[in-house]
Structure 1
């Protein structure tokens, strides 16, 4: 992303990221060699707006500082929050996710409103990225971003190209995503040809039990400002 795009996304509260890469290697989530190891994520809240983590994704390149010897893969991440300021939180989280070495945001969905019968209404969105992290590392990174935002936002790895895992704390594709319109609707808007577990997202959305409870709030929310 360009500097101008990042500044636009960061309208509101931004999050600084410090990443320390180590060379400890272990199997990737699901046995798929997306990266060279799993991450040990230990968020450290310094001033409420920054955090550190240690991540085992291989030796950093001397030229770029990014992990070497890892393949780029497409991943889809969902965002949701019940707070009124969810839109600002989403922008901050996306900036954080894009800033991680080995990640590159390539698609952002419209912002959706979710009507809930058994709790407060929510906002939801989906992003697509290319990543060099393995699935477990990316899930750990999402948890660290959640912690940096005081767990006021939920981030979930919905799908990762070429990865299928049913391991505890590393289920890919995300099991409940196929029945959740708040994930499927923004994903379909972002990528009409998307598939989840071999099924078209368009088909899954038509069958989702909560399809009538989601609706678009904004197409250009990521730029900030009034709708």
Structure 2
């Protein structure tokens, strides 16, 4: 992953003349409340409608057992979305939170059921360790519901500081994670 601007695309801010690097970013989306598939599709559509975000791939949909959640939680539908963006990690996080809010996400206790979860997994090779933004995502390397769909669409991917997604998925295993071939998300 790189923060070098794509040499074929000139993206200059007309007010400052400042170049904004295009970063490959990975977002994980999940839902276990309401119309789970419609919530995921809404997240993909909302990301695609975001200025300075280009959705390049969407993984197959997986059904997964909840992790670190109350015992009576419904299974999640999960997917991974690859994007190219000139947005900063902070701006991308703000957009992800706004998308969650638009779909009725209530933030109560960690692991609580949710209509929509949009997590930044990696943003280029950015590192962050703030209270509300940690990059790469601190648990992605051990979560099959992120690794399996990501591996499907980018098998040679790496998580900075953790290694190849393929190797991490092999270590984590696919228990509790099932591809739903009867469901799919559309790329706009």
Q: Give the structure-1-normalised TM-score.
A: 0.66
The 1:179/1:71 distance shift into structure 2, 3 A limit, reads same
1:116-162 deviation line (CA, Å, top 9, x unaligned):
48332111000000001111110111000000111110000001112
2:185 alignment counterpart: 222
Rg: which structure is higher? 1
In 1: Cα distance, 2:13 partner to 2:102 partner: 24
The range that moved more, 213-222 or 101-110, is 213-222
In 2: Cα distance, 1:103 partner to 1:97 partner: 7
Number of matched residues?
A: 164
In 1: Cα distance, 2:13 partner to 2:51 partner: 9
User: What is the CA distance between 1:61 and its match in structure 2?
Assistant: 4.2
Judging by fraction of residues, say which structure has more strand: 1
User: What is the CA distance between 1:99 and its match in structure 2?
Assistant: 1.1
**Larger relative contact order (C-alpha < 8 A, sep ≥ 6)?**
2
The range that moved more, 195-204 or 180-189, is 195-204
How do 1:127-142 and structure 2 match up within 5 A? Answer: 127-142=81-96
In the alignment, is the contact (CA less than 8 A) between 2:125 and 2:160 conserved in 1? no
The 1:206/1:74 distance shift into structure 2, 3 A limit, reads same
Which ranges of structure 1 fall in alignment gaps of 5 or more residues? 1-31, 35-58
Q: Does structure 1 residue 69 correspond to structure 2 residue 33? A: no
Q: Give the structure-2-normalised TM-score.
A: 0.79
User: Which consecutive segments of 4 or more residues in structure 1 shift more than 3 A?
Assistant: 59-62
Match of 2:64 among 114, 124, 135: 114
Please give the root-mean-square deviation of Cα atoms over the aligned residues, in Å: 2.5
Which ranges of structure 2 fall in alignment gaps of 5 or more residues? 6-11, 106-114
